[in-house]
Amino acid sequence: MIEGVRIRDLVVHTDDRGTVSEIFDPRWNWHPEPMVFCYYYTIRPGWTKGWGMHKIHEDRYCLMQGEMKIVLYDPRPESSTFGQFSEIYLSHQRRQLFSIPAGVWHADENIGPNDVLVVNFPTIQYDHSSPDKYRLPLDTDLIPYKFHNTRGY
């Protein structure tokens, strides 16, 4: 696994009426930074969002619905996983928290038949005038990973 990624299974409490699942509690000590901002995004079937990278913040995902492959590529020279990839599969069948360290390229591919829905609570607020977001085309030669049967940006 790429250095600095944090993963945590969520507990789903189920009863006759429905379910409850906590998404984030600083007392878990899962991540050192507090909740300061939150949004959700969706990805349509057959689509991928990426490659994206953030220089100064981490993403912290909670996949609520669907099935998604996250591909990470680590370009950080100081990292123990420099130059490596990770492929991680998230599903609503096993809800987890998943953090992506700053500086790590990521692409999120919807591999299921329905929209993917992800709640993201990044470690900083979104700066509408200068977002901390860097992009590369999915088919860039700068990242030696090939996607099949998907489109995106």
Ligand X SMILES: Cc1cn([C@H]2C[C@H](O)[C@@H](COP(=O)(O)OP(=O)(O)O[C@H]3O[C@@H](C)C(=O)[C@@H](O)[C@H]3O)O2)c(=O)[nH]c1=O
> For residues 59 and 95, what is the distance between their CA atoms, to the nearest angstrom?
16
Quick check: 10 and 62 in contact, CB under 8 A?
A: yes
To ligand X, the closest distance from the beta carbon of 57 in angstroms equals 8
Count, residues near ligand X per rule CB under 6 A = 10
Instruction: Between 93 and 130, name the residue whose CB sits nearer to ligand X.
Output: 130
Q: Which of 108, 109, 110, 143 binds ligand X (CB under 6 A)?
A: 108
Q: Which of 45, 52, 75, 112 binds ligand X (CB under 6 A)?
A: 52
Does 112 contact ligand X by CB under 6 A?
no
Does 120 contact ligand X by CB under 6 A?
yes
Quick check: 110 and 78 in contact, CB under 8 A?
A: no
First to last CA, the chain: 24
Does 40 contact ligand X by CB under 6 A?
no
Q: Which of 126, 127, 140, 151 binds ligand X (CB under 6 A)?
A: 126
Look up residue 7 and give its amino acid.
Answer: I
How far is the CA of 46 from the CAs of 36, 112, 120, 149, 153, in angstroms? 31, 8, 21, 7, 12
Residues forming contacts to ligand X in the complex (CB under 6 A) are: 39, 41, 49, 52, 59, 106, 108, 120, 126, 133
